[in-house]
Amino acid sequence: MFCKSASQLLKELAYNDNDQLTPFNNDIFEQVFRKCDEHHLHLQSLMRKIQDDGLDIQTTRNSDHFGAVIHHLSLIRNKRCLMAYMYNRAEIIRSLRWKIGTIPPEEIQSKLNYSEEEYFKNHCAALEDMIPPNDPSILVRVRCDIGDVLLGDQVASITD
């Protein structure tokens, strides 16, 4: 079945608590990544076959076209599942910074892969380097008068 491994990654996220970090599932992640490569190769070969037969890619509706569509959609779905998996893990890692500080305990660090460890370090460094503004007010310069503008629950007139 196409995209079965990719859906397993997302089911893993769904079964866990939102703030609970599970070990990075490198085996399934790599399987999905390899499936993406396979779908890409199949897609390329089908597109090449259509072109070699002298058919128009835009208007041809034969078995090769529909096979290419299936591989293309499977490739997109797998990529989206991989991105959703990584994005949700990144969200959890960002929230951990505020809960545990800059140094994660060993039980959390063992659940991260190398790129997630680097992401956590870079995220912590970025937060430490932030300097709050001295003045809380903002000066806005207007180039031309556009009339009245609705800002939330009030109306403001923007002029030169």
The answer to whether 77 and 6 are in contact (CB under 8 A) is yes
Q: What is the pLDDT of residues 9-45, one digit of tens each?
A: 999 888 887 678 899 999 999 999 999 999 999 999 9
Q: What is the pLDDT of residues 54-75, one digit of tens each?
A: 888 788 889 999 999 999 999 9
Instruction: Give the residue, 148 or 64, on which the prediction is more confident.
Output: 64
Residue numbers of the domain that contains 114: 4-158
Whether 160 shows a pLDDT value over 60: the answer reads no
DSSP H helices in the chain: 4-15, 26-52, 63-100, 106-109, 114-129
Q: Name the token pair of 96.
A: 């951990």
Please give the tally of structural domains in the chain.
1
HEC-encoded secondary structure of 28-40 = HHHHHHHHHHHHH
The answer to whether 141 and 148 are in contact (CB under 8 A) is no
The domain that holds 29 is classified in CATH as 1.20.58.1030
